[in-house]
Homo-oligomer: A and B are copies of this chain.
Amino acid sequence: MKKSLGPKIVVGATVVWVVGTYDRGGRPNVMTAAWGGVCCGDPPCLCVSLRKATYSHGNIVEQKAFTISIPSAAHVTEADYVGIASGRDTDKWQTTGLTPVRGELVNAPYVAQFPIVLECRLLHTIELGLHTQFIGEILDAKVDDSVLGDGDFLSIEKAEPFFFVPGGRDYYAIGRGIGKPFSAGTSFRANQKGRE
């Protein structure tokens, strides 16, 4: 039996991404965002939504560039902190010990300590209400050697991304493998029904 909860963001779990930007003075900033995802395969694009009130929002509008650094479970404390402090009045790098690295392809910094980094140029800005959605084209993915497996494939067990649950009491680590994509479902093919 399903219970109606109203127009609430009850979506299971979301990504935890850290957005890197420069302000007009060239100061690097980072903030954590959970409203984001992939939005196009070709060109490869991702989207992330920020409130207008954030310092990072203005930085993206000005620089037309940002990075996404994806923290591991080991960085949950740092990732949480950079989501609650503001770059307007705090130096999040000095406070946390995280290190900004200038992007190679875009004018935005990324977090040296996080294992996955995406350099993005701003493609679209969509005003939705409380949040603005920024769509960025992924110009390069940079991944720590230590989280790559055979053939330069990401080892998700080593990268250990984690998740946010809107309204929830915890961040959650990634868990066990449960089935093969584009394969698990083929067991239904023997029984496949045509459309009438």
Residues in A lying within 8 Å of B, measured CB to CB: 1-15, 27, 34-47, 49, 51, 68, 70, 73, 76-85, 87-91, 94-96, 104, 116-118, 123-124, 126, 128-131, 133, 135, 137-145, 148, 152-154, 156, 159, 161-189, 191-196
Choice from B6, B34, B116 contacting A11 with Cβ under 8 Å: B116
22 A-B contact pairs sorted by A residue (CB < 8 Å): A3-B145, A5-B141, A12-B174, A40-B130, A41-B129, A45-B129, A77-B187, A81-B186, A90-B192, A91-B194, A95-B188, A95-B192, A96-B188, A124-B128, A126-B135, A154-B165, A162-B178, A169-B180, A169-B181, A170-B179, A172-B178, A173-B175
Chain B residues whose C-beta falls within 8 Å of the C-beta of A95 in the assembled complex:
188, 191-193
